Structure 1
C-alpha cells in the first residue's frame, strides 16, 4: 500500500444536541437516538451521493459499530450491514458517545459469507504508529470473534441479536416499545 495512512476515524454522537460530528468534522442533524443497555442507536439523513440515510448501532461490549446505509437506487449493492471495528464509549457526563474506528470492516451481503476488509490498512496504520500493538491485536480479535459468531449463527444479524439479548431494531425491523 503506497498511500499515506490516515489516523483512526473519530466521531461524536451528541445525544442531547441531536447531532453527530462525523469523521471529517461535519456536524450532522440526527433524527433519532435510542439508548439501550447494550448500546446507542442513531438514525440520520445523509447528503452523500451513494446513500440518503444512515442507521448505526454503537455496540461497546462487542467493539462494533453496525451500520445500514440506505443507498440511492443507482448505488444499491446488495449490502445489508457494514460493521466497523473499533472502540465505542459513552455516554459521558454530557450525554455524548464517541467512536474510534480501528480500520477493519466487515460487510454483510445476504446469501454470501461475511467479508473482512482493510486488513492492509490496519497493518499500515500500526507500522506508522497510528495504532498501538494492543489496539491492532484487539481489532483482529474482534473481527475474528465476529466472523466466527456470524458463521455459527448462520448470519451476522442473528449473531448480533443473540449478543445483545434480543432483536436489534432497525427502521425495517422495528421492535415494539
Structure 2
C-alpha cells in the first residue's frame, strides 16, 4: 500500500511541470494566464510589433490597419505580481516602445490594446485608458531589474568577420 502511495505522489510531482509548460491548454484554470490583444488603429499604415519578456521573444508581426494580434502567457502567482511584457511598435519610419503588460498595473486575464500614433489605449467595455509612449529604456517597474531591450531593433547588424583560431593576422 505504501508503494502505491509513493507512486501516486511521485506521479503528481512529475505532472505539475508538464501542466505548467502547457501554456496553450485552456482546461487548467488554476494556472494564472493572461492574453494580450493588440489592434492596429493607425490609419492607412502597417504596424510592426515585436513583443517579449525577460525570457521569451514573440518575434516580429506586421498588422494591416484594423488587424489584431493576440498572444498569451502564464503569469506569476497571484501574490508575486511581477510578470512584465514590453513591445516595440514601428510604422513608417517611426518606432515607439511600451510595457504592454505589467501585472501590477494590468492584472487582467484578457487585455485589449488599441495602438494609435498618440499612444496605446487599453480597451474596457465602458472606456479607454490611454497612455503616453515610453522613452527608450524606460520601463514601468523602475527600481527593479530593467528588462533588456538591446535586441529589439528592426535593423540587423552586419555579421562579425571571423578568423580561424590559429590565425595571427597573416595569411
Greater fraction of residues in helix: 1
Shared fold, TM over 0.5: no
TM-score by length of 1: 0.30
TM-score by length of 2: 0.30
